[in-house]
Amino acid sequence: MAQNTAANDTTVRVNTEDFEREILITPNGFREYDARWLYPEQLNLRGAQSLGMGLGTLLHELGDGKTSPAIVVGHDYRSYSAAIKLALVTGLMASGCRVKDIGLALSPVAYFAQFELDCPAVAMVTASHNDNGWTGVKMGAARPLTFGPELMEKLKNIVQQRQFKERTGGSYTYVDGIKERYITDLARAKPLKRRLKVVVACGNGTAGAYAPQVLEEIGCEVIPMDCTLDYTFPRYNPNPEDLEMLCSLSTRVRETGADIGFAFDGDGDRCGVVDNTGEEIFADKVGVLLARDLAALYKNPLFVADVKSTGLYNNDPVLKERGATVDYWKTGHSYIKSRVHALEAIAGFEKSGHFFFNEPIGRGYDDGLLSAIMVCRMMDHHAGKTLAQLREELPLTWNSPTMSPFCADDKKYAVVDTVTRYYQAKKSKGEHILGQKIEHLNTINGVRITLADGTWGLVRASSNQPSLVVVVESPSSREKMHAMFAEIDMVLSSFAEVGSYDQKLKAA
């Protein structure tokens, strides 16, 4: 491959000769645990090819040095995804990788194929829930894990500094039938005893090719909603945290008298849930319901939850009674996945909707369809109750959505470090907040301040955008939740680097 251009060259313009000849792959696309670019403004096909060369070079470094790495590749349903994948594939082959192309797929289908085809590595071309115009790659070198910051930084350096190593031994095989094998695998357990009516919303994204069939296979009556694949996303973006998608789903659930509504993101690794009354259940509360169910089946289970998640994982009396313990860990699908794997936890839950189930339920990777199946099986274990009734059995808490005040990428970590030191100093001096002592500070990922009554607030740096992340919750009252937000907002307002919020505080 020619070495005459700079990987961080942002002067290459679309619809020019240079765009065909030069490599365009901007450094800001390499995130903490995956890669995201605007296409074609920040990435061209030669840039995708160079990413493949860099990934192949890294896989050789991580391997045994004797065999050519085998890697599964797939792509989501966008007008440009297949082209980007094939450019990536040429780079992988040039670096000596044995490519197994599974074609159009969900991210969990690509992870499944790693096991099914006995491939240690994966590269899934997907923009997940991002708007059209975005692309990206989720990568891993050891199943079921995906890259974290250390490997992403190594990959970035190889690509940016042109440290590619061309090798022989590369090959390409198109593997047909993985979709059918994946669906068979998910539906392998006994069908549901209870025939649930479920609305399946896919936002015209890739999950529409999988989710309705999977849920029918386990015995659900499926009402499809926006399941026809259409990469223009004519109604709304396939994102289970998006209010437009959830409101449409809620309306459809009420209109049809469905038992549950499921919303899937663009690459199918997340699942949003609406109960039979049309009310959204935040993903961390869905996780608590599933943890209760699993704690009745497995003795003294260990769970992992991300630091944005509800305090109920620690305080729920049912989980305590059943001997469950919970480890709060860093936000991000790669972090939670790695932690679940390292601790051999039965499951991990992330507030964004990434759920991870270990053996004997799953293989440790995030799969939105498996998450939906687990909700259905939980309903099977409570045949006389609706999902709304199960939700109402949880202790009441008042919590905010994830709020994202602007803060530049080169400033946000320093701001969070300063905020962390501020609260550490208050705790060490025994000072009170909202008239209470600081019971605990979790600093594994930003700072989570927990007060004596269980009210807590979190400040951390976003992993994939120029912003901070703020979440607050109180088991005491709505007023305490708002007071905790006011406390954090007062501290953040003292920083000129911190801008306005893109979401308003609300009760949930």
Is residue 2 one of the residues assigned to a domain? no
414 shares a domain with 315? no
Q: Does 424 lie in the same domain as 384?
A: no
Same domain, 346 and 403: no
Is residue 490's pLDDT more than 60?
yes
Name the 3-class secondary structure at 84.
Answer: helix
**pTM (2 d.p.):** 0.93
User: How does pLDDT run across 109-164, given as a tens digit for each residue?
Assistant: 999 999 999 999 999 999 998 889 999 999 999 999 999 999 999 999 999 999 99
Residue the block writes with tokens 């975005």: 134
Whether the pLDDT of residue 281 is over 90: the answer is yes
Q: In which band, very low, low, confident or very high, does the pLDDT at 465 lie, cut at 50, 70 and 90?
A: confident
**Residue 103 token pair:** 């074609």
DSSP per residue over 254-289, as a string? HHHT-SEEEEE-TTSS-EEEE-TTS-EE-HHHHHHH
The answer to whether residues 174 and 204 belong to one domain is: no
DSSP output for 416-428: HHHHHHHHHHHHH
Question: Greatest CA span in the chain, whole angstroms?
Answer: 68
Q: Residue 302 contacts by C-beta under 8 Å, 6 or more apart in sequence?
A: 324, 325, 326, 327, 343, 344, 345, 346
Q: Structural domain tally of the chain? A: 3
Among 340, 367, 392, give the residue marking a domain's end: 392
* 218 and 295 assigned to the same domain: yes
The stretch 86-101 carries a mean pLDDT of 98
Same domain, 221 and 331: yes
The answer to whether position 236 is within a domain reads yes
Whether residue 324 is found in the same domain as residue 421: no
Residue 88 pLDDT: 98
| Same domain membership, residue 199 and residue 97 | no
Average of pLDDT values for 277-300? 97
Task: Give me the pLDDT at residue 6, please.
Answer: 42
The structure tokens listed for 19 are 């765009």
CA distances from 122 to 25, 144, 436 (A): 20, 10, 48
- Known catalytic membership, residue 128: yes
Residues 254 and 361 in one domain: yes
User: Looking at the structure, do residues 357 and 457 belong to the same domain, yes or no?
Assistant: no
Whether residue 252 is predicted with pLDDT greater than 80 in this model: the reply is: yes
List the domain range (segments joined by +) for residue 451.
398-492
Q: Is residue 9 part of a domain?
A: no
Catalytic residue of the set 50, 95, 128, 400: 128
As beta bridge partners, residue 222 has 198
- Cα–Cα dist 30/7, whole Å: 12
**pLDDT tens column, 162-198:** 999 999 999 999 999 999 999 999 999 889 999 999 9
Q: What does DSSP say about strands 98-104 and 70-75: parallel, antiparallel, or unpaired?
A: parallel
Residue 503 is assigned to a structural domain of this protein? no
Q: Does one domain contain both 465 and 424?
A: yes
Kindly report the average pLDDT of the chain as a whole number: 94
Q: Are residues 133 and 34 in the same domain?
A: yes
Is 270 inside any structural domain? yes
**Chain length of the chain:** 508
Structural domain ending residue among the three candidates 375, 392, 409: 392
